[in-house]
Amino acid sequence: MRAASVEGEARAEGRDGRSVGRADLLVVGLWVLTRAILLVVSLNPRLYSAAVFGDVRFYAAKVERIFQGELPYRDVAIEYPPGSVPFTILPGLVVGTGAGYRVAFACEMVLVDAVGLWAASRLARIVDQGRRRIPLAYVLAMVAMGPLLVLRFDLVPAVCVLLAATMAAEGRPGWAAAALGYGTAAKIFPGVLAPLLVLGLVPAMGWRRSLLRTVPPFLAGFGLTVVPALLLSVRGTADSVLFHVQRGVQIESLWANAIALLDLFGGPQARTVTSFGAYDLSSSVSDAAKLLSGVATLAMLAGAAWLVWRRSRRLGGLGPADWAAAFAVGVFAFVLPTRVLSPQYLVWLCAPMAALVVLLAGRRALWALVAAALVSQVIFPFRYSQLRRLYPFDVGLLTLRNLLLIVACLLVVRAFGGAVDSRR
């Protein structure tokens, strides 16, 4: 009887293994197909729009100057923090900075996206019994972000956040902190998630051990590119961060949306101005909006920390299924109230949110984000000139996009509160 039982268990395990293998092949095949289509659409202006090529041309121009002997941050002003530089230089090393740079950069981002898929699959094995829901959600939701997924390097910090959630779920807080450290060096925003990582660990590990397990690896990941940049130029490196701090009320932000609506309904008049390479809204209330955005961002980040601490303390530390939701809450707290909300920021949100499909509220949040991404693609690049002129229809589209983001945020908070503690 015992032998028959063991044999039956072996057959069941074999069937499960084959089932998982088929699921993996399905997801990988769908990923290959969707990314191939995305590359074709993204790189062909006849199929989409050449307006999305601007940043890639900017990257190539900076890299060309570096290849001519100028040093980044000292001789060449780099808009983004040092973690971005390896990802802009590598395509140039492979094909040069000419016509092939755009294709090489997009292919590089597809490789980064493959790392994201690997992280999503690994997370699924921990929190969803190896089922395909999380990697499938990642494949479909990320491609809905559109060409900006592969024509900006925002995918790099987004995948860093997903890797951090996966490592934390596996009980590897040091690796999670290192991923957040490099993400911070690339695009700043993952830095706001580092305190959430610590707060999620403290009830189980204590303050001293939590800090020792996370702070050194975070600094290592952060310093990998930041220290060389500082050695080249402290001021130039600092300016890459201060550049964004000094920006105005960007036209797609919630604050600019409110200013545009006030203009349409007889309030203070607004006009579009160009500053820091972006389009901002200027009106008599813009300065107040800039001040309020800073206050609101600090308040929402504090609220995210409180939510994480409350759940962590109640459970004795966050469980594997909690980390992606906690990080998604943190990213929303950073993105929504700030005065810059570029369309590629939605990529930051999508990566950790793909892991929330195991919960009903999480699935609804992801659907809302995907809908917001599709509306955002209508706005940019296809109707951006109309939005800059504050046409009522386009202000309405922006309002719809931003309302969908707010709904997604509320659903993520709800999903975090209802996340299943996998230890139970």
pLDDT tens digits along 93-143 = 999 999 899 999 999 999 999 999 999 999 999 999 888 999 999 999 999
Buried-state track 277-302, b at ≥16 Cβ within 10 A, e below 16: eebbbbbebbeebbeebeebbeebbe
- What is the mean predicted confidence (pLDDT) over 245-252? 87
pLDDT given at position 247: 82
Distance (Å, whole) CA 83 – CA 189: 12
What pLDDT score does 424 carry? Answer: 39
Distances 28 to 40, 167, 413 between C-alpha atoms, Å: 18, 22, 30
pLDDT at position 275, please? 81
pLDDT at 418: 66
How many angstroms separate the CA atoms of 313 and 324, rounded? Answer: 17
pLDDT band (50, 70, 90) for residue 22: low
Average pLDDT for 270-298: 91
Answer for the pair 347, 145: CB distance below 8 angstroms, yes or no. yes
Mean pLDDT of 296-308: 97
Give the model's confidence band at 276: pLDDT under 50 very low, under 70 low, under 90 confident, else very high.
confident
Query: pTM for the full model?
Result: 0.92
Statement: residue 40 has pLDDT above 80: yes
Task: Say what the pLDDT of residue 122 is.
Answer: 94
Report yes or no: 277 and 79 within 8 Å, Cβ to Cβ: yes
10: pLDDT strictly greater than 70: no
User: Whole-number mean pLDDT of the chain?
Assistant: 91
Query: Residue 129: what pLDDT?
Result: 87
Q: Provide the sign of the torsion angle of the four alpha carbons 123, 129, 130, 134, taken in this order.
A: negative
Cα separation, 376 vs 342, whole angstroms: 9
